Amino acid sequence: MERLVNTVRPYAWGSTTAIPELLGTAPTGEPQAEMWMGAHPGAPSLTPRGPLNALIDADPVRELGPATAEKFGPRLPFLLKVLAAGAPLSLQVHPDLEQARAGYAAEEAAGIPVDAPHRTYKDANHKPEMICALTPFEGFCGFRAPAEAADTLAALGVDSLKPYADLLHAHPEEDALREVLTALLTADPAEMSHTVAEAAAAADRLGGAFAPYAVLAHHFPGDPGVIAAMLLHHVTLQPGEALYLGAGVPHAYLSGLGVEIMANSDNVLRCGLTPKHVDVPELLRVVRFEPADPGVLRPEASPSGEEVYDTSIDEFRLSRLVRAEGAAPTDLTAATPQILLATAGRPKAGEITLSPGESVFVPAGEPVELTEAGTVFRATVVA
């Protein structure tokens, strides 16, 4: 079992205070957006024996266990993060596994450098993910019913939004959503900038349920993603609640602190709210134009007291253990690799005491017992 030293990524949208408050450190004044825990080569966690990805590369069967290594290959299948949004993240979707493999192969064959700004597929893996709130956490997730989105556009009273509202009343619903998103992303930039400005002024004036769109426009003036977000569910998670984001589901995070887990991939197709490249044809191929409830997840308790966030994904399994003072030890020994992250109290994993924000990597089969009071998130796989 190894205590991890983790990298904090300073993306511009990050909160300047949330991660320092969790860690009990002084803010630097700079944004601190994501703390990565895992073996991703972009920012692998460090252990006393070296970078975690190097340890796994040296002996994947020992570190991951034979079942995990056979099922997923010689790499840790998931990446765990603490995410702190102080400003909106880009509106985005992720491909499924078949799309990722095909897209990656095509860009490799075309000779597009993997770090090129217009490159879409960074690897050949899919990127299902889940965010679990540590504080109230606000975002957009999944398409609303088109008629409901049309009512939002109409309520703003902006003439240039009327054609989009009319399109949303077409049938079938999937075609209506596709037509509107396509129209938004291919509109004349100057005309769209004017439409967004008018919509933002109206949203600011109306307030209430419209206020988040004014916030988006403040950060991304003229961006078609402001209007695209009106097609989606606005969701506020309470601490302990989670969202699972499968392939093709458009989403964006606005604010809050959470624990995020995902398959070990960096494939993102952006729809808006970003100065980065938007590959419209590929985006429209990947997006699933299906109105659906965002499906807020609440953990399901097990007899051991472990609360599991149930998904259909094998690359990761996230659970939470909230331990009271004097509670009996919890045996977490497993045949799969684990990362244990403390978010409250001072729980002990074996002999290692964890303060909030600290974590350990537990190799497959390594005995580990959780003691003392505190809250621990447990990340592992289904092998």
* Alpha-carbon Rg for the chain in angstroms: 22
What DSSP assignment string belongs to 144-163?
A: PPHHHHHHHHHHTT-GGGHH
Query: Taking the CA of residue 107 as centre, how many other CA atoms within 13 Å lie in the half-sphere pointing to its CB?
Result: 21
Q: Which residue, among 380, 351, 340, has the nearest Cα to 364 in the 3D structure?
A: 380
Choosing from 75, 270, 323, 378, which is the catalytic residue?
Answer: 270
Tokens for 235, please give them: 């969701």
CA terminus-to-terminus distance, the chain: 20
User: Would you call 328 exposed, middle or buried from its count of C-beta atoms within 10 A (0-12, 13-18, 19+)?
Assistant: exposed
User: What residue has token string 């590959």?
Assistant: 279
User: Would you call 174 exposed, middle or buried from its count of C-beta atoms within 10 A (0-12, 13-18, 19+)?
Assistant: middle
**How far is it, in rounded angstroms, from Cα 200 to Cα 191?**
14
User: Would you call 57 exposed, middle or buried from its count of C-beta atoms within 10 A (0-12, 13-18, 19+)?
Assistant: middle
Instruction: Pick left, alpha or beta for residue 136 (phi over 0 → left; psi -120 to 50 → alpha; otherwise beta).
Output: beta
Going by C-beta distance under 8 Å and a sequence separation of 6 or more, which residues neighbour residue 235?
138, 139, 140, 141, 243, 294, 296
3-state helix, strand, coil in the chain (%, to 5): 30, 30, 40
| Bridge partner list, 8 | 35
Instruction: Based on the residue annotation, tell me whether 298 is a catalytic residue of this protein.
Output: no
Strands 330-331 vs 307-309: parallel, antiparallel or unpaired: unpaired
Q: Which residue, among 32, 205, 240, 286, has the nearest Cα to 135 in the 3D structure?
A: 240
**How far is it, in rounded angstroms, from Cα 299 to Cα 378?**
13
The dihedral over CA atoms of 91, 269, 259, 56, expressed in degrees to the nearest 10, equals -170
- Cite the active site residues: 270
